[in-house]
């Protein structure tokens, strides 16, 4: 029973990290709009700021694991955009 709750919790965290429902309203995911408007250096700076934000606040404003996963998401995106 415990592992089922952990799996459901992990799916919820993953959704909140990768594609939060509140960021997909209006037909475009917010990150895609930001990327289109800030392309290049501006977008990479935005990603860097979010890595710093989520690493700095991890555990202070809610679920520490979720904050760390969000930081990782932005870092992975930054790495992809830097290639």
Contact criterion met (CB below 8 Å) for 68 and 54: yes
Domain membership of residue 29 as a residue range: 2-81
pTM (predicted TM-score): 0.72
With residue 42 as reference, give the H or E element that holds it.
helix 41-57
The pLDDT score that the predictor gives to residue 1 is 46
**pLDDT tens-digit series, residues 15-40:** 677 766 666 667 788 899 999 999 89
Contact criterion met (CB below 8 Å) for 29 and 23: yes
**pLDDT tens-digit series, residues 35-51:** 999 989 999 999 999 99
Residue 73 vs residue 11, higher pLDDT: 73
| Number of domains the chain is built from | 1
List the structure tokens of 5.
């709750």
């Amino acid at each position: 029973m415990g592992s089922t709750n952990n799996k459901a919790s992990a799916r919820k965290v993953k959704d909140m990290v990768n594609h939060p429902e509140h960021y997909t309203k209006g037909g475009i995911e917010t990150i895609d709009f930001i990327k289109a408007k800030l392309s290049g250096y501006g977008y990479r700076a935005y990603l860097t700021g979010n890595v710093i934000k989520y690493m700095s606040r991890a555990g202070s404003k809610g679920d520490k694991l979720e904050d760390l996963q969000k930081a990782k998401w932005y870092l992975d995106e930054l790495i992809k955009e830097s290639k």
